[in-house]
Structure 1
């Protein structure tokens, strides 16, 4: 799994008026298809009198075709959701949903005008989105003594990992998320600290 950019802001909003129609574009950081669909529903409820609520999302990594989606929401086929998705995919961002709310102003835009309005709104909003790099992490676990836990946490954090949860029984079982590329180095540091006793197991 490769790293990819995601939005820093939770939400970016841009508004335009094109031939008397109001277009409000939302770009929202969303993780997963369910979160993306939930955002669409929330924005739909915020604008109950709007004529259209068109949307597109890249809900995971940019190259994960299982997490793409779009809808024209009543606009002519191919004039809204598809150009919106094309802008999202062209941006290289992951974990992102675009919703364009249209309040109809009485003037027909034609298919070319609609493509330009919906795709252009997303393009404009994307220019305002700050990015940060997400490094995908794999899940691992290890078993250790109580007294080793604090140093294990320090080592894991040094290699951009995090402790997800910890189970205390006779021993301590720790679940850890860590970038795959840093697994070997982290294991080496854990082994040195514990004299060969500790190493991460894949979940």
Structure 2
């Protein structure tokens, strides 16, 4: 079971690729929602308002079937820009990422082959400039118990070195833990077998 994914932590510095007077500026951004993507696209269009095309591709999500992606040619010939950019996202095996390539037309047509190469190369340069990190895919569980049983719960959390993301310690205790996907079934079983302690998976 694959329970890790690669992403980038911060936006990259601008990269530049030139071909026959056309200039291609490339950017990679870490993203977590379509709203964020929209905002970043608007910002880059504002920064490069004199450009001819703002082509991009993105991928969101860490596991099937929840992975979403989109590739946009923004007026370039069909599949000559967005898909070559998306191809690099796949090639570098990264997700939760947006890559934008801005083109300033230099007066000489590059042809479809030239465009594919330019957009692919610019996206590759942007990814090579990025700090790619590996993250684990985690499941969230909510543990519910009376205060008298809290020591039992905390002992297991400590033994198994689990991440607590939220806790409410009152007469009724609620603790949210984050568990790596491959360990999730065993951890669930361990708490589920305990008397007077409830555990349920959070979406």
Provide the TM-score with structure 1 as the length reference. Answer: 0.81
In structure 1, distance between residues paired with 2:65 and 2:98 = 14
Structure 2 regions of 5+ residues with no counterpart?
A: none
Tell me the equivalent position of 2:120: 119
Shift of the 118–106 alpha-carbon distance from structure 1 to 2, 3 Å rule, reads same
1:176 paired with 2:170, answer no
Q: Larger % of strand: which?
A: 2
Shift of the 96–12 alpha-carbon distance from structure 1 to 2, 3 Å rule, reads farther
1:36 paired with 2:37, answer yes
Shift of the 198–57 alpha-carbon distance from structure 1 to 2, 3 Å rule, reads same
Contact 1:50 1:101 in 2 (8 A): yes
Aligned-residue offset at 1:57: 0.7
Structure 1 regions of 5+ residues with no counterpart?
A: none
> For the aligned residues, what is the CA RMSD?
3.1
Tell me the equivalent position of 2:53: 52
Shift of the 42–202 alpha-carbon distance from structure 1 to 2, 3 Å rule, reads same
Shift of the 100–188 alpha-carbon distance from structure 1 to 2, 3 Å rule, reads same
Q: Deviations over 1:47-79 (max 9, x none)?
A: 222111100011222755741001111111111
In structure 1, distance between residues paired with 2:113 and 2:86 = 16
Tell me the equivalent position of 1:79: 80
Matches within 5 A, 1:143-182: 143-145=144-146, 156=157, 159=160, 161-167=162-168, 170-182=171-183
Contact 1:54 1:101 in 2 (8 A): yes
In structure 2, distance between residues paired with 1:153 and 1:45 = 51
In structure 1, distance between residues paired with 2:35 and 2:135 = 20
Aligned-residue offset at 1:177: 2.4
Provide the TM-score with structure 2 as the length reference. Answer: 0.81
Contact 1:12 1:28 in 2 (8 A): no
Tell me the equivalent position of 1:200: 199
In structure 2, distance between residues paired with 1:86 and 1:94 = 12
